[in-house]
Amino acid sequence: MYSNKVVDYGTPQKRSDNTVTVHIDGKPVCVPEGTSVMRAATEAGVQIPKLCATDTLESFGSCRLCLVEVDGRRGTPASCTTPCEDGMAVSTQSKKLADLRRGVMELYISDHPLDCLTCPANGNCELQDMAGAVGLRDVRYGYEGENHLVQEKDESNPYFTFDPTKCIVCSRCVRACEETQGTFALTVEGRGFDSKIAAGPTNFLDSECVSCGACVQACPTSTLMEKSIVDAGQPDHSVTTTCAYCGVGCSFRAEMQGNEVVRMVPDKDGKANHGHSCVKGRFAWGYATHPDRVKQPMIRKKITDPWREVSWEEAFEYAASEIKRIQAKYGQASTGGITSSRCTNEETFLVQKLIRAGFGNNNVDTCARVCHSPTGYGLKTTLGESAGTQDFDSVEFTDCVIVLGANPTDGHPVFASRLKKRLREGAGLIVIDPRQIELVKTPHVAADFHLQLRPGANVAVMNALAHVVVTEGLEATDYIAQRCDLEDYTKWKAFISEERNSPEALEEHTGVPADQIRGAARLFAKAPNGAIYYGLGVTEHSQGSTGVMTIANLAMLTGNIGRPGVGVNPLRGQNNVQGSCDMGSFPHELPGYRHVSDPAVRELFGNEWGVKIQPEPGLRIPNMFDAAVDGSFKALYVQGEDIAQSDPDTQHVQKALESLECLIVQDIFLNETAKYAHVIFPGSSFLEKDGTFTNAERRISMVRKVMPPLAGLADWEVTVRFAEALGYRMDYSHPSEIMDEIARLTPTFTGVSYDKIDKLGSVQWPCNDAAPEGTPYMHEQEFVRGKGKFVLTEFQATPERTTRKFPLILTTGRILSQYNVGAQTRRTHNQTWHDEDVIELHPHDAENRGIEHGDMVAMQSRKGETVMRCVITERMQPGVVYTTFHHPESGANVVTTDNSDWATNCPEYKVTAVQVKKVTADKSDWQQRFDSFAQQQDSLARQGFTEDNEQPAK
């Protein structure tokens, strides 16, 4: 059940340019054409009793509780299924209606437990509310008849229970799973009295249910109920905040008892998610109060020393003294920092400010380096701005979608549900991916084309698509003439038209039959609105930036930028990776994507910050590692990133971290990187601070503190105090003041403030005088750079080649239940679904190697070896293997290489030449060393006493 404290309008809001006026119990109300009588009544302040209707689902008309009388019409139609007509006069109350409603409720309650006082839904139950609303006093049928009061609960799912004794078979859960989530995991089995809700032939856990929770919040009783509510009871207040998992940026109501979260429920008013969520944001929030949380700062001189718990003051003084010592000895450029894409905009802004103003250099970078930095480069070059062009609502207006190098049902599930809804309505779908991702064939959705290319061939496929569009005369000539640089276009057109860019010529590189590419190109180019969504399967390549530019080229070529339903849509991975890029986390750019070499920009920031900003670009993360190994980079401040697990070529990263004289890690857990650290600043989760996140839509949303920081300081406060210890004062009493500074200094943010975000719910930048309420769609009249730029995108094969020794290609990715390095999700019940990383192998490759499903296999590359369990699946193509990187002990990045994107050094995670073979040992040499080092570091962490063996300092 959602919450009976929040108005439920009964049926979804309709959009129409026309309005109609109806009278509800004599009250006039004007609504968009198509609105139900039920919704119009609610808007007029009249609550019509209901059970099967809810405003997140289309009307169903089964419960017969919402009957009304309409002047001039016979009978008593259901108000949820009756559309308003102009001039209609509706009565919602009469003796006849009251008798009918009481009769309906009598039937429901005759087959329902009468244990309200001990029921977990007590106080928040629609059935209870409706019994009260209709004045139910007795049940004339009695309770001795056949009933459903003795049935087994399904408690298989770790997060919610299914109690069929409480079920009224309103089918809201079934419809939520269909309409909202699009998984179709639930059904009504049987008919009449035998009807019951079923998750297929199994229990919930073993079914196709993805635990999004849509059925749970749709359920009007306690049939589907969060276990946290069963345990703790109903919340007493709620705070609206933003999810800290992926780049969708779902809005949530954190429902609380005091300072404790009882449950997280997706906010219906959330503009990114419209009341939907996934298993991670909805249920996997327990990590925030996990016993592993670091609550006390710690320091040590060497990484072989035990940790010593100290006060915040001592930790700041020690860290600052080390930075100063190292800079005096090795130079100012020997230090740097990494901002977090999980922390807020305000916190990220402060870290880059600390590095630039406090450390005195530009050696600052962010995790976007390893994911969407090519998006920044590619879209800035072609369109003029380093961000996606649309909002998520745009998908409702699209006619044909290309999904390229992304797996949204796993990586961006809430957006994927919106996409699937549009696809069920008939939009075309082209999937370009080496794997058969779920979207290729899922209930009521099938891709028109699955271009199952070889890893590393994105640019070839995209060039081939563009070649077809141009040579078959399908380009948007007027759009190009009006909006794009014609000199660049002419040059590019000549290039792309060459026979060597045809699907036929490129087939040996792409592995995709030419006729498939031709068919896909025609489908996309002929659609009135075509949209491209892409992910790290584009960017994490040696031609990552080139790949992004091919996307922009194709979008401009077909006239698909600048309105709803189209666009170039990077699916950003982390909750605030867009924000961290916006905030100037890159070593070459100040906030707002302005190069450090620009004297006017340096002067602007320099005057505000009271320092001189360096004019040269700083080190990127991979360059920091190289410089560390080389001896010229000696100290690093890392906020909220686990580079030892997430970055490629693990052994090189480990060597780099070991080379540092001072590694300061600020995080909520002792992660893999912390094992090499000398200072630990305890971090704060998203529940413990105020701030903002920016999602993939450029949408800036509030993050609101619901509990005090466990270690006493929010992350932004830690950075401020650290800066002060270094001798650089930052005076802020609240994060809103940091945002005010960002707005002062950044042209795309000048209209942003906490007041505005509170008022509007969220704001999409650019938000300034030209767009005071923000910008859903970019490049509407012209591109940010003026004219769109077509860029020559020659396909160049990756230097990572298969050989006889390494004949397979490894590509990596994510799954639904775990998130990135797993630091958060591994500390929740999401472990139920994925408690180890596995290698996925095609049956042919397995057979050739004598490998069976479930065998332990070694995966070797020229960089290293690791051992994992093998899963044999036909969703891989022969020659390609797949794994995830959610568990540190699986060592997926031990085998990935230092190949990277030519423009940004974004690692080529998606193409590594490997061999896979069956083994009997369950760990590689690296994994054994990892275990030994981990045990050593755990022991050192547990020791944590002062030099005099006193109790740990507070």
Partner 1 sequence: MDANKLVTMANQIASFFATEPDRVAAVAGTATHIQKFWEPRMRKQLFATFDEGSDHGMHELVVAALTEHRSNLEPA
Write out the residues near partner 1 by the rule CB under 8 A. Answer: 333, 362-363, 491, 495, 542, 546, 587-588, 595, 597, 616-620, 623, 626-627, 630, 632, 792-794, 796, 799, 898, 900, 902-905
Shortest reach from residue 595's CB to partner 1, in Å: 6
- In terms of CB distance, is 322 or 908 closer to partner 1? 908
CA distance 148 to 152: 10
CB 679 within 8 Å of CB 299: yes
Q: Quick one: which H or E segment has residue 21?
A: strand 19-24
User: Which CB, 329 or 595, lies closer to partner 1?
Assistant: 595
Residue 719 has φ and ψ, to the nearest 5°, of -65, -40
Contacts of 886 (CB under 8 A, 6+ apart): 814, 815, 818, 819, 820, 821, 822, 825, 826, 834, 837
C-beta of 891: minimal distance to partner 1 in Å? Answer: 23
Instruction: Say how far apart CA 295 and CA 286 lie, in whole Å.
Output: 16
Is-contact 68 92, C-beta < 8 A?
yes
Task: For partner 1, give the closer residue by CB, 568 or 619.
Answer: 619
Nearest distance in Å: CB 688, partner 1: 35
**Tokens at 485, concatenated:** 């640089």
CB of 630 to partner 1, least distance (A): 5
Separation between Cα atoms, residue 317 and residue 303, nearest integer Å? 19
Who contacts 475 (Cβ-Cβ below 8 Å, separation ≥6)? 469, 525, 557, 558
- Which one, 312 or 495, has the nearer CB to partner 1? 495
Closest to partner 1 by CB, 272 or 506:
506
In whole angstroms, the minimum distance from the beta carbon of 363 to partner 1 comes to 8
Question: Could you tell me the smallest distance in angstroms from the CB atom of residue 331 to partner 1?
Answer: 10
Q: Could you give phi then psi for residue 40, rounded to 5 degrees?
A: -60, -40
The least CB distance from residue 348 to partner 1, in Å, is 20
Looking at the Cβ atoms of 337 and 618, the one nearer to partner 1 is: 618
Given strand 251-257, what is the order of strands in its sheet? Answer: 237-242, 251-257, 260-266
| Nearest-approach distance from CB 81 to partner 1, in angstroms | 59
| 561 neighbors 389 (Cβ within 8 angstroms) | yes
Closest CA to 550 of 476, 631, 464: 464
Q: Give the shortest CB-619-to-partner 1 separation in angstroms.
A: 5
Which residue's entry shows tokens 């087994």?
A: 152
Specify the residue, 463 or 927, whose C-beta has the smaller distance to partner 1: 463
Sign of the four-CA dihedral 528, 533, 537, 542 = positive
CB of 897 to partner 1, least distance (A): 12
| Nearer Cβ to partner 1 (588/849) | 588
Q: Which is nearer to partner 1, 586 or 885 (CB)?
A: 586
DSSP codes joined into one string, 273-337: TTT---HHHHHTTGGGG-TT---S-EE-SSTTSPPEE--HHHHHHHHHHHHHHHHHHH-GGGEEE
Tell me the angle at which helices 735-745 and 599-609 cross, rounded to the nearest 10 degrees: 150
Beta-carbon-side half-sphere exposure of residue 392 (alpha carbons within 13 Å): 27
Cα dist. 434→5, 134, 374, 544, 579 in Å?
A: 47, 57, 20, 16, 30
Distance in Å, CB of 509 to partner 1, minimum: 16
- The residue (of 124 and 905) whose beta carbon lies closer to partner 1 is 905
Q: How far is the CB of 901 from partner 1 (least distance, A)?
A: 8
Residues 673-693, buried b or exposed e (16+ Cβ, 10 A)?
bbbbbbbbbbbbbbbbbbbbb
Would you say 265 or 333 has its CB closer to partner 1? Answer: 333
Q: What is the rounded CA–CA span in Å between residue 631 and residue 141?
A: 85
Q: Rank residues 242 and 900 by Cβ distance to partner 1 and give the closer one.
A: 900
Q: How far apart are the first and last CA of the chain?
A: 43
